[in-house]
Structure 1
Amino acid sequence: MRGFWGLRNAFWAMRLRVRSFLLEKADISLDEYTGAVKRLSPSVEQAQTPTKSQKFSRISNALRTQDIPKPQQNFRDIPTNAESGPFKPLLESKPHAVIPMNKALELFKDQNDVQHHPHPYQKEIEQYEYPSFVYTQAEPIPYHPYESTTAIFVDTEEKVDEMLQELKKAKEIAIDLEHHDSRSYIGIVSLMQISTRDKDWIVDTLQPWRRKLNKLNDVFADPKILKVLHGAFMDITWLQRDLGLYVVGLFDTHFASRALGYSGGSLAFLLKKFVNFDAQKQYQTADWRIRPLPQEMFEYARSDTHFLLYIYDNMRNELIQKSDFTVPDHEKDKIHDVLTRSRDTALQRYEHPVYDAAQGLGAGGWYKMLSRTPALLDKQQFAVFRAVHQWRDEVAREQDDSTHYVMANHNIFSLAKGMPTEKAALFAMLQPTSQTVRLRADELVSVITKAKEQGENGPDMISTLKEIEAHLLGVPLNETPSHFAALKQSQPQQTIPASVPSAPTAPVLSRTDSSEPSGVRAKVSQFWGGLFGGKSQNHQSRPYSSNISLSVPLPPLTAEVFASSAPLTAPPTPQASATPTSATPSESLATPKDRIFTLKERGRKRNSDAISTGNDSLATNADEIDITADESLEAKREAKRQRKEQKKAEKEAAAQHAAEVDLEEEEFDYAAAPSVLDANKVDPRDRKKNKKEPKTKAFNPFVKALDTMKGMPRQQKERAGKSMTFRK
């Protein structure tokens, strides 16, 4: 039976899709026939070339439809992601050494008593002096035409040796990397681009022998060769981690753009500024593991270094022009500032990412993510948050995937707040759900359940964060100046003048509920400080007075209020006037019952000059108040009411007649209707050539759609008319 119903449902689904396709095809055909859509001929359609964005979409769709095997599984040194000790440099030899390699790799301890291997080229970088041509202004060397040249793809060890011999002859080289960090825990360098003044190379760094590329230190560590990179902060650590390469003599064009005050600091900005070249930066986030490399991605990778030396020439000249070398201590030496920052970048060291489950410190720890998020978790939620975060890291290391590929950060917060103990609830909270979570859902549910039970008597979130921050700052816990601890700030006492009488005091309103955990609410704003009245512990709050008058003083409601246009003023205090002479409101507003008066004249401006400001009598103005009895007013009102009733009766009769006509409408005669085949097929462009032919409208199949009843018209705005009068 299940097979029968399955075939039946599939049949109906296919039938609906076919019908939808036919209706859509018919609609498109009608649009093309009426000229609403211009369709190109097949030859023109085939001759159209896809745009760059269409090419990128095609490449991205092709990458999404296939599961690329992880190239790191074919490396001779497969990463295990379980290293916990200090990172040892991958050097097999140390060319251009000032200190021998055995001494340069001796372990040392940092301030936290943790052992590390030093930077093998630290001494060489610190003592490095840039060549004189870096400080010399010269005409920029033009680059070779991009369209008539190409790059050499280096995917064998023999090609690496050939490239190395060419690089040793250069004075400056440009370097860039393409990195992939989604299907790898620590990331992986996928491509390396190198350019000289004459040639470009693209090195495949996913080959099993990629560790052999450390022979490029003959060039990378050569102090006679300047290495130009853009935004080399991450490239320096990636070269150390994957290839064992170290850069001596770095010039970072990103720091140069900042020193020169450019509005942009990206490589795409510099390419547009100096070369007028539009870099297709959509390929920056592409999957660079794909092999063979598509031509579009190959050209994009080449453009990152092909123009970089020419850009360096222009920026070097501009730095020299805007520098003042006569000022001591390099205060106005812009090029010295760029070289200093570049040197500091080259001194970075890579270390293994060690997970700290207790305090959550480190690049991939939970402390940074939790401290930057305004979320207050209870003990159970805090325990679940840390357990899920640790589970994600362990799974990512095991599968050699990034932590974000396993689970996004916001999903960890969702699970911590919801604490699901069943798979259905787990999947409902994680949308979208990664493949790893779907396959290991039972394991994740058990982790959440166990952490929820242990969290009942576990540590508190606020106190834990305070302890971690105190440890980072090296201060006692009660003196931690953070947003998790209440700062002790004092506020000066407010002095009250002696002339002001003191109000009767009332009992001070204080909070006696102690259910709120300590440290959740700070006594003083950490952003505003004591600007809004931060109080010290010894400062007593001013008591609330029970004798506070919330009334606003108002003048007597007399006739002058309605007649005068002058602003209202507060009456004198009882001390100033002991015998008030103003009349009561009831006496001042007493008017005969039969008087007719006008409240407002609509559509006419007030004449302020005609308003009387008498003190004892009500002002009389022709525009504001009319106390004359108009006998014809009642007759006008009655005539207006009769006209309204007559118009209403006419509208009702017209509506009834229209309804009767609709009921008696004849059926549509399809035989007498105009045919589509007899419609005008003449192209309007042909009629322009022969103006003698009569102009006829083309067939429009949607013209009858407008033959419908019209809705209610838009309500009209009020117009200026007669004044509104009332009888009191």
Structure 2
Amino acid sequence: MDTEAITSALLSTTRSASALASEDLAFHRSLSNSLASALDRQNARLLALSDRLLGVAAPNPSAVRSRLSDIDAAEGNWRAVVDVVDSLLERADTALDEFTGAVKRLSPGAVEQMQKVGKRQDERTKLDWRKSDIEKPQLLFENVPTNNETGPFLPLLQSKPHAMRPKEESAPGLHPYQSEILDYRWPAELYTTAEPSMYTPFEESTATFVDTEDAMYEMLEELKQAKEIAVDLEHHDLRSYVGIVCLMQISTRNKDWIVDTLKPWRRKLSCLNEVFANPSILKVLHGAYMDVIWLQRDLGLYLVGLFDTHYACRALGYAGASLAFLLKKFANVDAQKQYQTADWRIRPLPQELLDYARSDTHYLLYIFDNMRNELVQRSTFGKMDHEGDKLWDVLQKSSETALQRYEHPVYDFDLGQGTVGWYKLLARTSATLSKEQFSVFRAVHRWRDNVAREQDDSAHYIMSNHHIFSIAKSMPTTKAELLGIASTQNVRLRADELLAVITQAKDDGRDGPELMDVLNKVEPQVARKPLTKEAISHSVAAFVPRSSAATVNGESSLPLRSMTSGFWGSTLSGNSDQKRAYSAAQSVALTVPLPPLTAEIFADPADIVSQRATQPPEEPLSAADGVVDTTTDMAEDDVFVLKQLGKKRKRPTIDGMDGLAAQSDEVAIPEDEATERAREKAERKKARKEMKRAQKGAMFNESDPHSQEDGVVDDEPFDYAAAPSLLNPTPSKEAREARAGRKEINPYAKSLDTPKGLSRTQREKAGRSMTYRS
């Protein structure tokens, strides 16, 4: 087709779309049924055409994509539609730039040269901090992890320095330093304020990199002379099943060390227990909850005398509790947290990572000094049970953290318990799975765990959690369907194996357990107190409308409320009748009497009407009975009226007196005086009405000479046809003459002009588009 014809068609389509967008189609289609039908047909045609175009333009047509079945689907998947349109515009942009000559098509050699130039950037942007294609260092360890241990974790201790009990007396499965931590006595210096010891300027000091055994022993001898040390770890858990400690930072008052913990002899670092377990040396860490576990698992190190600055933040009520917050507050240092997710297995370590790792402990002892002083100043000592002693609270929580023990991750297929189980994944979501889907979910989850253990990779590296849910819900049967859901590297390599697992699990799920049955085994439902049939019928009648009560064989099938509270436990259990009576006795009496709360109130009104129709009418109370018994009236008919027909509610009189005068502390007004006052009030009211009527009549007489003498104007019908239009008023003669000599201006005349072509003198910049600028 000719280029001019294509351009003309595009312009015509653009103009038509712009014109339609400015019209009120909803109003026009409400006036014409034929127009509405035509619009519906065009909408369906355009939606089908858009859906086909999106399918063709998608980068992977075989992948599962959103369908545009109606307007709601288009609005719900608008983000996906925008992504496809953006990719099309980018491709069109590139083609137009090449066509207009703004960018010349580059040869393969020129492309390679530009890539080399693009790589000549600073070291920070050139380095990929998260790359995961590094050879696994754990394969070179003297003790290669197997990830299949099922028994209790055996400590990696070769010896037990500073022991109160020998290593042989420690029972299997217990913390080897449990007695030492529980019997630890904090030094008296902690409860005294002192001037904080200033850290060495960061630029004027360097860290010692420990990557040999000789350097490790030299560091150990220097650490033994310190009274406080700061410790931190850098961990990697993507390409390792249980995780791996990659770096350990240790700082004293005047020196920093960075220990490479990826060496094959890494377990020899357990000799540092001579410092880490020494009760006379205080260990300061921040957020040591996981550091304690990692030290035990990889290096066999245990902490006696731990001070966690994270708990100090909580005790002091700081606005933040992170290490970055403390660095900014006390040292005015901005932590470069973009390196926190770096791959710490990189060797050699870049200078940026070394500086970041050293900064975590370089300032920590100075921060500890300030926080200790503040804790002492804001604590109250001498009370029972250390009440008000903030420092004591921090030390106790730090000891509890140090008492944690590492255990091997054992997989529980049946109930999904443990750190690597499936139970928490299901408990956090509201997914409803059938028997087959639940069976597939558990089978795929176990398959992922087995592959992760075999390859020594994290489970999320093998397959993400949402992929497991998607596979469980769709239960794919072909390789194309499976890869359309999860197309990760491990799934592609093991697609046939995973399909066999899904097929077998689907067959086993037909006779397998229900999802809720298994979940109830983990968290059993609260035991319910058995009720009698009378109590069941009374509770259903009192709290459930009759029209919505489901019955089976004449008995209610609705679930009963638990007799115990899920929040308060058994606090509210006991004799419910006594509690209801007590609650009624303690309630405040209402000024207006309310009807009794019976089952009739919650019943269907039609049933009440039919029931009352069959009952004989009741005799009304006579006025001679004196005071009306409202309680009897309420019992017979629960419908009461506070104010009827805008009249005041009158009380019955007693002995010719007003009911209000029956109170002992009020004085009755004589009947003659009361009658005289009422008559005078009525006359004044009548005079005011006559005065208003006279004023109204005078106003009408002034505005309309044809009004009647009494001020009442005859109502004449308004002629809508002869009335001037408010929306399109007829211009006056002067306005028409002035408009005749003036030239009309169309402000939208140039709105449909096409944009001009791209100038050939412009040059495309790297990462920028010449046609569509962002």
Matches within 5 A, 1:320-719: 320-430=376-486, 433-470=487-524, 480-481=525-526, 509-512=548-551, 543-546=603-606, 571=645, 637=723, 644=730
Matches within 5 A, 1:50-129: 57-60=125-128, 63-64=130-131, 67-104=133-170, 106-107=171-172, 116=173, 118-129=174-185
Q: Distance in 2 between matches of 1:280 and 1:200?
A: 19
**Can you list the C-alpha shifts for 1:679-727, whole angstroms capped at 9, x where unaligned?**
xxxxxxxxxxxxxxxxxxxxxxx9xxxxxxxxxxxxxxxxxxxxxxxxx
Give the AA of the match of 1:545.
P
Gaps of 5+ in 1: 1-12, 28-45, 108-115, 471-479, 497-501, 550-568, 577-610, 678-701, 703-728
Q: Distance in 2 between matches of 1:163 and 1:639?
A: 97
> Per the alignment, in what secondary structure is the counterpart of residue 229 of structure 2?
strand
2:310 alignment counterpart: 254
> Per the alignment, in what secondary structure is the counterpart of residue 223 of structure 1?
coil
Give the AA of the match of 2:185.
E
Report the structure, 1 or 2, having the larger helix content.
2
2:97 alignment counterpart: 20
The alpha carbon displacement at 1:512 in A equals: 4.6
Closer, same or farther: CA 362–633 of 1 in aligned 2, 3 Å = closer
Q: Distance in 1 between matches of 2:353 and 2:690?
A: 85
**Can you list the C-alpha shifts for 1:453-496, whole angstroms capped at 9, x where unaligned?**
111111111121112224xxxxxxxxx33xxx878899x999x9
1:237 alignment counterpart: 293
Residues 101 and 760, structure 2, Cα contact 8 Å, conserved in 1: no
Residues 377 and 461, structure 1, Cα contact 8 Å, conserved in 2: yes
Q: Distance in 2 between matches of 1:298 and 1:151?
A: 8
Residues 152 and 202, structure 1, Cα contact 8 Å, conserved in 2: yes
RMSD (Å), alpha carbons: 5.0
**Can you list the C-alpha shifts for 1:20-52, whole angstroms capped at 9, x where unaligned?**
36869689xxxxxxxxxxxxxxxxxx9xx99xx
Closer, same or farther: CA 327–525 of 1 in aligned 2, 3 Å = closer
> Per the alignment, in what secondary structure is the counterpart of residue 193 of structure 2?
coil
2:333 alignment counterpart: 277
The alpha carbon displacement at 1:305 in A equals: 0.2
Closer, same or farther: CA 612–236 of 1 in aligned 2, 3 Å = farther
**Can you list the C-alpha shifts for 1:85-114, whole angstroms capped at 9, x where unaligned?**
11100111111111111222x33xxxxxxx
> Per the alignment, in what secondary structure is the counterpart of residue 285 of structure 1?
coil
How many residue pairs are counted as aligned between the two chains? 536
**Can you list the C-alpha shifts for 1:583-630, whole angstroms capped at 9, x where unaligned?**
xxxxxxxxxxxxxxxxxxxxxxxxxxxx999999xx99979x995689
> Per the alignment, in what secondary structure is the counterpart of residue 197 of structure 2?
coil
2:194 alignment counterpart: 138
Give the AA of the match of 2:442.
R
Closer, same or farther: CA 159–547 of 1 in aligned 2, 3 Å = same
The alpha carbon displacement at 1:650 in A equals: 11
Residues 258 and 358, structure 2, Cα contact 8 Å, conserved in 1: yes
The alpha carbon displacement at 1:544 in A equals: 2.8
Residues 488 and 537, structure 1, Cα contact 8 Å, conserved in 2: no
Q: Distance in 1 between matches of 2:517 and 2:202?
A: 60
Give the AA of the match of 1:69.
E
1:310 alignment counterpart: 366
Closer, same or farther: CA 226–650 of 1 in aligned 2, 3 Å = farther
Q: Distance in 2 between matches of 1:359 and 1:449?
A: 21
1:719 alignment counterpart: none
1:298 alignment counterpart: 354
Taking only the aligned residue pairs, the percentage that are identical comes to 52
Q: Distance in 2 between matches of 1:205 and 1:141?
A: 30
Closer, same or farther: CA 345–634 of 1 in aligned 2, 3 Å = closer
Q: Distance in 2 between matches of 1:238 and 1:641?
A: 79
Residues 192 and 203, structure 1, Cα contact 8 Å, conserved in 2: yes
The alpha carbon displacement at 1:327 in A equals: 1.1
**Can you list the C-alpha shifts for 1:304-323, whole angstroms capped at 9, x where unaligned?**
00000000001111111111
- Answer yes or no: is 1:155 the counterpart of 2:187: no
Closer, same or farther: CA 221–523 of 1 in aligned 2, 3 Å = closer
Q: Distance in 1 between matches of 2:303 and 2:738?
A: 90
Closer, same or farther: CA 290–643 of 1 in aligned 2, 3 Å = same
The alpha carbon displacement at 1:198 in A equals: 0.5
Closer, same or farther: CA 413–537 of 1 in aligned 2, 3 Å = farther
Q: Distance in 1 between matches of 2:320 and 2:726?
A: 72
Q: Distance in 2 between matches of 1:398 and 1:639?
A: 85
Residues 506 and 546, structure 1, Cα contact 8 Å, conserved in 2: no
**Can you list the C-alpha shifts for 1:618-647, whole angstroms capped at 9, x where unaligned?**
x99979x99568999899836989964999
Residues 479 and 496, structure 2, Cα contact 8 Å, conserved in 1: yes
Q: Distance in 2 between matches of 1:84 and 1:283?
A: 35
Closer, same or farther: CA 612–384 of 1 in aligned 2, 3 Å = farther
Give the AA of the match of 1:20.
D
Residues 385 and 416, structure 1, Cα contact 8 Å, conserved in 2: yes
Residues 100 and 760, structure 2, Cα contact 8 Å, conserved in 1: no
Structure-2-length-normalised TM-score: 0.60
